[in-house]
Structure 1
Amino acid sequence: MGDGERRTITPQLHLLPPDVSDFTGREEEIRCIENQAPGTVTLITGKPGVGKTSLAVHVAYKTAETYTEGNLYADLRGADEKPASPEEVMARFIHALGIPEDEIPTDPHARLDKYKSVTANRSLIVVLDNAADESQVRPLCPPGGSAHVLVTSRSRLRGLEGAARIDLETFPSETAKDFLQRVIGQSAKDSTPEAIRAVVDACGSLPLALRIAANRLTSTPGMKVLDLAAELSDQRNILGSLEAGDLAVRAAFNLSYRRLGKRTKNAFKRLSLAPGEDFGPGVCSALIDCSELEARRTLEKLSEANLIESSSTYGRFRFHDLLKVYSREKNLKDSEAKRAASIHRMLEWFRNSALRVNFAFIGKFGELEAPTKYYADIETVDSAITWARAELLSATAAISLSLEHEGPSNAEILAMPLCAICEFLGEWQVVEEVVSLGLKATDVTESYDVELSLLNARVNLARHRREFFYGHEVAEMAYERAVESGKDFSISIASNLLGCLKMECGDLEGAKPLIEQGIEISKRLGVKNQLGQGLYNLGTVHRALGNSREAINCFKQDLQVCMELGDELGTAETLNTIALVLVEFGEFEEAEQFHRRSLDRFERIGNLDKVSMVLNDLGIALRWQGRDDEALELHLRDIELSRTLGDISGAALAQSNAAEVLHALGRSEEAERLYLEAVSVFTHLGDAERLARTTMSQVPLLFSVGKVEEAAKYADAAIRYLLDHGEVRDAAAAHQMIAEQYLKVDMNDRALFHATEAIRIGKSFSAPYFRAISYASAVRANLAMGNSDEAEKFFTELRSVNLISGNAVGELLEELDREREGGTG
């Protein structure tokens, strides 16, 4: 178009609908659009009713001064059966730009050329509302880089090249509340915050739903916010309640739904049957009876249509609350037989998949022949972990669904592997729910094997919570049930379990024969995974009894079994325990390597409870090597991780460990602060055992500031508690710690007393390296007091320990030899 032609045009460039007078929020999105340079196409997408058009029109008004030649607006009717054609819209825009109708070309190509010529390089804001697809939008974008095009669409229009994208979400909670209060005015003042919140929550913070709710409140005489909140609490009729005049949430959803293809409509209806907060292609494939690949494509189409939204996990989706209600409405219009078949296929998928995951965790791939085609493809431990992380909560909710629709037999089949999956991942907060639902099923079926498995999980949960005596009661009940059943396999599991709890409660002699019974049966039956558990528990008993060599032999046998089975969790656990025994032998560098191998596995599995455990243990191993800075870093990391997990006691334990290191580094004020916080937590929780251990960790700090008698009082109380509760090894270690502190302040008679007490009570229980330290303290105390004959007796005992221990005791012996020869004792 030449200059002469442009001058003859009289623009009629105000086609925008009215702005929304009570527009609320969207500050970030407005800023983003306003910052776009001329020539940009900005695409605003989102679910029905989220406020795409309101935002586009509002921004168009706000930027009017920037785009000085006016604005164009067209509703492209993308949700209609027959959307507006680009040629139709071009004709309107060309005419609005001052071209008489009889001069607008009828030929599509000529019309496009004309449109380009009259819009090129014009400073325009163009709003293309409710676009169906990319082909509608592309021809309507003015050339030349001077116009800003705002496109709204219910679809994501992924093929629209170079567009700046804004995916509009529902209002944040506070914005939704402000919007509702602004629109209803006086009614808000007469209501309570709780009633306002109830309406906002019922509307799911969806702007259209909030607008309708507000209109009903302002147009219905006598209706209070509390009345509407009560009405909206009925999920069955909520969509019917969200209608006001020609505004209706259901109608907005209908516009998007009717454009879907047959399979996609079917998926949309069925997905409301999925349990849990989100869903993936696996559940979808079972619900609509197709492959996972086809289900994935179907979910993408629903996401493209903004009828479902991405969840926090990549590849998974969820419903907005109101869209889920709409989905249920559509689903209920199908026959009961179709709904039942979909539910049955989905529950089969959960059962078969959970069993395959459980088998994968113990290294058994391909050994489970699924009776149907409905199961997840689990070929590696990593794929099993991925499935478990994504589906655990949904699968747990599916137990209730199974009880309702299929009966207890299928429900208990799902509950059993889910218990093992929870333990593998460290998801202890889920275990209780799974066990309760599973036992509800076994109450009807009287299935001893399943009940035993569930009781096993409940005992392990009690152990995790440190509720050892309650766990012992449950373990005894499980053992009685197993003996009643007469099944060797059940007896082996229950005897091993009861042995564990006896050990936890301090009855080591009672634990040993039960665990050995389980091992003997497992060997006879050839059940390797159960054998490995028995060997691990027997090693733990030997370790508690001070039989370190026997303990490490059992642990190494268990490690071999775990690695042969491909049992990643068992391997990681045993690697860490072997490291702990190596520390007791004074083999700190080798222990560190075992700890790190364990930590790598737990981090890959994603079992954060166990990661926390190993961080603590590895930190202690580093401290023994004098690497305090590295140890502190691990303990501080453990504090944060424990807090993230909601493990208050674990965080306090990590604080106590960090306090010890900080004291060693000379940072006493920081150490005292962490120590006092830990003591406060353990006192509040009533965790006397950890409180006693934390009290002992404070002893060096008190000695360093001259509070010797206060330290002695705390130490005596802690030692009494540990002895009263059968914690003999820890009591011996406490005596040794305070002996070392007395040596530092030349209170050698007290040092000798505590060193000999450590030797006396720990002789049968303490590990070789720690016995050696006690003998060394006794030697030093005697030398300091001039008791050379007594010192020689203890030195001889130290030599005997060196014969059965590792390099660290030999180094200690050499150090003490030098002290004796140099007269430094």
Structure 2
Amino acid sequence: MEFRVLGPLQVVDGGRQLTLGGPKQRCMLATLLLNANRPVSAERLSEALWGHDQPASAAANLRSYAAGLRRAFDEAGEGERLSTDRPGYRLTVHRGELDLQLFEELLAQGREALTKADQGPAVAVLRAALAIWRGPAFDGVPSTPLVDAEILRLDELRLTATEDCVEARLASAEHAELIGELTALLAEKPLRERLWAALMLAQYRCGRTGEALETYAGARSALIEHLGLEPGRLLRDLHTRILNRDPQLDLAPSEQPGGVQTGASVWPVCQLPLDTTDFTGRDEVAAHAREVLTRTTTGVPIAVLTGLPGVGKTTLAIRLAHQLRGHYPDGQLFIHLAGGSDSPRTPSAVLAELLRTLGVGGAAIPQGVEERGALLRSRLSDRRVLLVFDDVRDEAQVRHLLPGTPGAAVIVTSRSRLATLPGTRLIDVDLLATEDARSLLEQIIGDGRLDAEPEATETVLKACARLPLAIRIVGAKLAARPGWPVSRLARRLQDEHERLSEFALGDMAIRASVELSYQGLPAAAARLFRRLGLVGNRDNPGWIAAALLDVPDAERELEVLLSANLLQIIGIDAAGQPRYRMHDLLRAYAGEQAAARESAEERESAVRRVYAGWVALAAAATRNLPLIRRPRVETDGFTEWVPEPDIVESHVDKPSAWFDTERVNLVSVVEDVTARGWCDLATRLCAAVDDGFGLNSFWDAGERVAWVVRDCGVRWGDDMAVGVATSALSRISAWRGHLDEAIVLLDESVQRFRSCGEELEYAYAVIQRSFWLGQRQVFDKAMQDVQEGLKIARIFGELGAECSGLRSLAQLHSYLDEHDQAVTSIRAAIDVARELGLPHTQADSLQGAAVFLLNAGHADEGQQAAEQAIELYREAEHRPGEAYALAILGRAYLEQGRHLLAQPPLDQSMKIFTTLGDRRGKALALVCLGRNYLAIGDVARAVPFLGRSLRMSRELGIPWLIDSAESALATIRTNSKDSSTPSHHLT
């Protein structure tokens, strides 16, 4: 939690400002903050709020204001901050939480450095202290004697801190930079003699003696006008010394024109920040970087540490620099270039700082960048120096800062992928490994708290998504609040919309870190970044970027985001295209920016184009499958948004591989679409993925898609959506052996298609139902369904439905022992399949023909049909069909009495069914294997196979398989005289 009084009064927790109430309540808070961690009596509070004119209700009002403040703290989980301390109140403020305390601590440090003539640290610390101020102290707090007195004290303290900082900067030879700043400051504060003196000295040191004397005259006029007084001794003495050109006013010898220290006093130089004691992981990347930076080379080794914001590039660079101090004994220079900020440091300013550090000062520092760079290279020549340039924006910012001769080395950290610097080795700093992420959190807060709450710990670490900055923030929060259980923070991190606000503490904030990179993006890349935050955290193909921007191609914008490490390539897909992913916390920030900068209509249109692109690609992939294409819902001609033709062709040229690659994405997309209530897109997606998932046996994925689409259809009253989804669910249930459930689902599908007037959908559904009713021996209803479906198919000329209907009709004839009619129907189905030109459909018909020919006693023809089916299934890469055809081929050999030939295809089919988890297929293969062993007289091996098949067939409810297994086992009972055969196998 942060308490801010150096500017508008604010209390900030996790990046969120607390609501502090009205003027009197804010005044009470200000009074408590000025007495932080000390009890403040109700009497004193009343006097602070109302002076001597206190209302009769003062005590009640104070209780009300205290309750209001507690409510605000409670919302941040910090209700214990304000406690009742009789007869008043106490506000608990931890070290580092109140900006006023931090300012005073830094000011004391800066002044101590000044007393030691340690100008560089003094400037840095005093600047940091002044940067805390956001405006006038206690801005917006009502005037009270206590607050007003503190405001006067703080204003004076701020001005003296400014004067101290100016003094330190003058001693650091920043006189040229100060002239403009002091002129502007004196326009506001014309009575500050130290500032007038600083301006005179800065002008004098820049060789502008006349202007320095004019400044004295201006100072004298201002003082006489406002105060009626002559300048004090400080200004009068300086005026005299300037007139006399006092040499002591000049810079120290090392800073004089041409004054360059060449002795050993400058070396070695070490500017490295403190190394972290809890550094965790990074062993491999650190070893690689050390190898790059220490190898013997004729040039200057440069290791560029690149990675997304907050990944720990600077921490790693500092660790490496400390480890390499012995290898570079002449010095280690650390320069922050602020490349990610609105005001990145210029090469010229950085060169001047480096040269001053190395003993060059005053006019000895050339004006031009080229000349300064040359002088730096000269100073570094033959020196073993390590330079660390932190937060570099681009190559141009650092190119002139590089050494020119071997012996030195450079570490660069950058959010961009700097690849054009000579001798550069790019080193990607990735997210922490899972175990290292936990280890870092343990080191910050102690492992006892994590071990006590393992589930909450996992939730916190998952929210951090292995990003070191996020882990350090939550670790610091927990370390600062030893009374907090981990579960409390875990609950706060579960709200994705508020998560980024929780990742903020002091000067550490994920939002601020990412913002630096985001603000540097070109407009189109920034728009793409924002919109990528709208589509879920998937492994996305590149065409999604084009859809989000509504352009044919967005490769340039993707490259910008990749270069800025705001997006990552995580692999290459089956189509040879890169896959992209955005870190969870970057995606949360991107979504925030989209909500803030784009209208709801713009956001919705962008997302809908993406989902329409998935429909178009899934439909194109399905068209390339070797299957009967059931219409179910119109996806052909769907043009709401379609990727460019070359993108479509490259992605779905191998449709089975495409469905395999995109399976997880497609399920996630359907979930997103249904959550938005877009039933039209959801139905099209369900229809488009059904065949692809089925062909690849992705039953779990298909089931998830179908159920969420069905629920969406029911919720929105969309019969077409429900019909398509329940049709898909019925096929999955049948494959899993739940035939009764499949028929019930298909009954609903038939009803829905009838109610919305989709006749072809209805025809496919009743034909499918006839197939399963036949297996359940409900022959009359099955025959009625197939004849109705065939009639509709022929009216519409729908060859796919006619082919399916003829196969179902052949099955029914076979069940009724009408073998000739079965063969006639299946041969008609083969003719239609050939007309369709679909290998998979022909294979299905040939497989059916093989079964019906075998049932009719035509074993040789059945064998040929099975072999042809196997060939076509393999051509279509359809493993389930291949397995069934192999089992049928084994049966054909069995009925031909060629038992040795039967064994291999039956073993192969059993292996495939086991891999696919197809219990119906396993029951078929088991009964065929058992009958084959029985035929060769190996009863001991036959009985277990037949017993397993019988149990599985009874569980699945497949009558003809039950009959086949029971008849074989009955033969064994009749003929077997082996009393040792286990009886339980025969039932």
Tell me, yes or no, whether TM beats 0.5: yes
Distance in 1 separating the partners of 2:830 and 2:579: 37
**Residue of structure 2 in register with 1:519 after alignment:** 790
Distance in 2 separating the partners of 1:461 and 1:201: 34
**Residue of structure 1 in register with 2:438 after alignment:** 177
Task: Confirm whether residue 33 of structure 1 aligns to residue 289 of structure 2.
Answer: yes
* Superposed displacement of residue 435, structure 1: 2.3
Residues 54-111 of structure 1 deviation map (CA, whole Å, 9 limit, x = unaligned): 1122122223333444433322322123433444444444554555665454433333
**Residue of structure 1 in register with 2:184 after alignment:** none
SS of 1:466's partner is: coil
**Residue of structure 2 in register with 1:78 after alignment:** 339
Say which of 501, 514, 539 aligns to 1:240.
501
Task: Confirm whether residue 316 of structure 1 aligns to residue 316 of structure 2.
Answer: no
Is the Cα–Cα contact under 8 Å of residues 572 and 599 in structure 1 kept in the other structure?
no
Is the Cα–Cα contact under 8 Å of residues 11 and 96 in structure 1 kept in the other structure?
no
Task: Confirm whether residue 303 of structure 1 aligns to residue 574 of structure 2.
Answer: no
* Superposed displacement of residue 399, structure 1: 4.5
Once structures 1 and 2 are overlaid, which stretch shifts more, 134-143 or 235-244?
A: 134-143
Distance in 1 separating the partners of 2:918 and 2:283: 39
Which has more helix, going by share of residues?
1
* Superposed displacement of residue 617, structure 1: 7.9
Amino acid at match of 2:544: V
From the superposition, tell whether residues 485 and 183 of structure 1 become closer, same or farther in structure 2 (CA, over 3 Å): closer
Task: Confirm whether residue 223 of structure 1 aligns to residue 484 of structure 2.
Answer: yes
From the superposition, tell whether residues 147 and 629 of structure 1 become closer, same or farther in structure 2 (CA, over 3 Å): farther
Once structures 1 and 2 are overlaid, which stretch shifts more, 124-133 or 80-89?
A: 80-89
* Superposed displacement of residue 159, structure 1: 4.2
**Residue of structure 1 in register with 2:69 after alignment:** none
**Residue of structure 1 in register with 2:269 after alignment:** 13
**Residue of structure 2 in register with 1:154 after alignment:** 415
From the superposition, tell whether residues 443 and 55 of structure 1 become closer, same or farther in structure 2 (CA, over 3 Å): same
Once structures 1 and 2 are overlaid, which stretch shifts more, 172-181 or 611-620?
A: 611-620
* Superposed displacement of residue 234, structure 1: 2.4
* Superposed displacement of residue 527, structure 1: 0.8
**Residue of structure 2 in register with 1:498 after alignment:** 769
From the superposition, tell whether residues 586 and 532 of structure 1 become closer, same or farther in structure 2 (CA, over 3 Å): closer
* Superposed displacement of residue 325, structure 1: 1.6
* Superposed displacement of residue 247, structure 1: 1.0
Is the Cα–Cα contact under 8 Å of residues 950 and 965 in structure 2 kept in the other structure?
no
Distance in 2 separating the partners of 1:631 and 1:15: 75
Once structures 1 and 2 are overlaid, which stretch shifts more, 195-204 or 137-146?
A: 137-146
Task: Confirm whether residue 284 of structure 1 aligns to residue 545 of structure 2.
Answer: yes
Distance in 1 separating the partners of 2:628 and 2:925: 40
* Superposed displacement of residue 451, structure 1: 3.6
* Superposed displacement of residue 445, structure 1: 6.0
From the superposition, tell whether residues 160 and 539 of structure 1 become closer, same or farther in structure 2 (CA, over 3 Å): farther
Say which of 579, 591, 601 aligns to 2:876.
601
Amino acid at match of 1:308: L
Residues 99-148 of structure 1 deviation map (CA, whole Å, 9 limit, x = unaligned): 56654544333333444444456544332322212333444444455444
Distance in 2 separating the partners of 1:112 and 1:627: 84
Distance in 2 separating the partners of 1:161 and 1:535: 72
Distance in 2 separating the partners of 1:622 and 1:702: 13
Is the Cα–Cα contact under 8 Å of residues 870 and 882 in structure 2 kept in the other structure?
no
Distance in 1 separating the partners of 2:318 and 2:892: 64
Structure-2-length-normalised TM-score? 0.60
Amino acid at match of 2:564: A
SS of 1:235's partner is: coil
Residues 644-699 of structure 1 deviation map (CA, whole Å, 9 limit, x = unaligned): xxx4859x95xxxxxxxxxxxxxxxxxxxxxxxxxxxxxxxxxxx57974993896
Say which of 708, 719, 723 aligns to 1:437.
708
SS of 1:217's partner is: helix
Residues 756-790 of structure 1 deviation map (CA, whole Å, 9 limit, x = unaligned): xxxxxxxxxxxxxxxxxxxxxxxxxxxxxxxxxxx
**Residue of structure 1 in register with 2:453 after alignment:** 192
Q: Please give the residue correspondences for 1:809-820 in structure 2 after superposition, counting only pairs within 5 Å.
A: none
**Residue of structure 1 in register with 2:470 after alignment:** 209
Residues 159-215 of structure 1 deviation map (CA, whole Å, 9 limit, x = unaligned): 456643332222222211111111112762684222222221121221101111111
**Residue of structure 2 in register with 1:368 after alignment:** 636
Is the Cα–Cα contact under 8 Å of residues 275 and 322 in structure 2 kept in the other structure?
yes
Once structures 1 and 2 are overlaid, which stretch shifts more, 316-325 or 198-207?
A: 316-325
Task: Confirm whether residue 696 of structure 1 aligns to residue 930 of structure 2.
Answer: yes
Distance in 2 separating the partners of 1:717 and 1:318: 47
Amino acid at match of 2:526: K
From the superposition, tell whether residues 737 and 256 of structure 1 become closer, same or farther in structure 2 (CA, over 3 Å): same
Once structures 1 and 2 are overlaid, which stretch shifts more, 102-111 or 566-575?
A: 566-575
**Residue of structure 1 in register with 2:746 after alignment:** 475
* Superposed displacement of residue 467, structure 1: 0.6
Amino acid at match of 2:338: R
**Residue of structure 1 in register with 2:58 after alignment:** none
Amino acid at match of 1:177: R
Is the Cα–Cα contact under 8 Å of residues 612 and 641 in structure 1 kept in the other structure?
no
Once structures 1 and 2 are overlaid, which stretch shifts more, 387-396 or 269-278?
A: 387-396
Is the Cα–Cα contact under 8 Å of residues 673 and 679 in structure 2 kept in the other structure?
yes
- Give aligned pairs, total: 693
Amino acid at match of 2:309: P
Amino acid at match of 1:696: G
Say which of 307, 314, 319 aligns to 1:58.
319
From the superposition, tell whether residues 503 and 311 of structure 1 become closer, same or farther in structure 2 (CA, over 3 Å): farther
Amino acid at match of 2:606: S
**Residue of structure 1 in register with 2:426 after alignment:** 165
Is the Cα–Cα contact under 8 Å of residues 775 and 959 in structure 2 kept in the other structure?
no
SS of 1:273's partner is: coil
Is the Cα–Cα contact under 8 Å of residues 51 and 207 in structure 1 kept in the other structure?
yes
SS of 2:511's partner is: helix
Is the Cα–Cα contact under 8 Å of residues 132 and 153 in structure 1 kept in the other structure?
yes
Is the Cα–Cα contact under 8 Å of residues 396 and 418 in structure 1 kept in the other structure?
no
From the superposition, tell whether residues 418 and 116 of structure 1 become closer, same or farther in structure 2 (CA, over 3 Å): same
* Superposed displacement of residue 478, structure 1: 3.6
Is the Cα–Cα contact under 8 Å of residues 771 and 808 in structure 2 kept in the other structure?
yes
Is the Cα–Cα contact under 8 Å of residues 370 and 400 in structure 2 kept in the other structure?
no
Structure 2: any 5+ residue segments left out of the alignment?
Answer: 1-260, 979-987
* Superposed displacement of residue 404, structure 1: 5.4
From the superposition, tell whether residues 537 and 610 of structure 1 become closer, same or farther in structure 2 (CA, over 3 Å): same
From the superposition, tell whether residues 425 and 339 of structure 1 become closer, same or farther in structure 2 (CA, over 3 Å): same
Once structures 1 and 2 are overlaid, which stretch shifts more, 565-574 or 37-46?
A: 565-574
SS of 1:183's partner is: helix
Distance in 1 separating the partners of 2:772 and 2:606: 44
Structure-1-length-normalised TM-score? 0.71
Is the Cα–Cα contact under 8 Å of residues 692 and 721 in structure 1 kept in the other structure?
no
Once structures 1 and 2 are overlaid, which stretch shifts more, 45-54 or 183-192?
A: 183-192
Residues 690-720 of structure 1 deviation map (CA, whole Å, 9 limit, x = unaligned): 797499389679987xxx6796588579669
Is the Cα–Cα contact under 8 Å of residues 464 and 470 in structure 2 kept in the other structure?
yes
**Residue of structure 2 in register with 1:529 after alignment:** 800
Q: Please give the residue correspondences for 1:637-716 in structure 2 after superposition, counting only pairs within 5 Å.
A: 638=912, 642=916, 647=917, 653=922, 689=923, 693=927, 696=930, 715=946
Distance in 2 separating the partners of 1:552 and 1:78: 78
Structure 1: any 5+ residue segments left out of the alignment?
Answer: 654-688, 752-825
**Residue of structure 2 in register with 1:681 after alignment:** none
SS of 1:417's partner is: helix
Say which of 327, 343, 358 aligns to 2:590.
327
**Residue of structure 1 in register with 2:602 after alignment:** 338
SS of 2:457's partner is: helix
Task: Confirm whether residue 107 of structure 1 aligns to residue 368 of structure 2.
Answer: yes
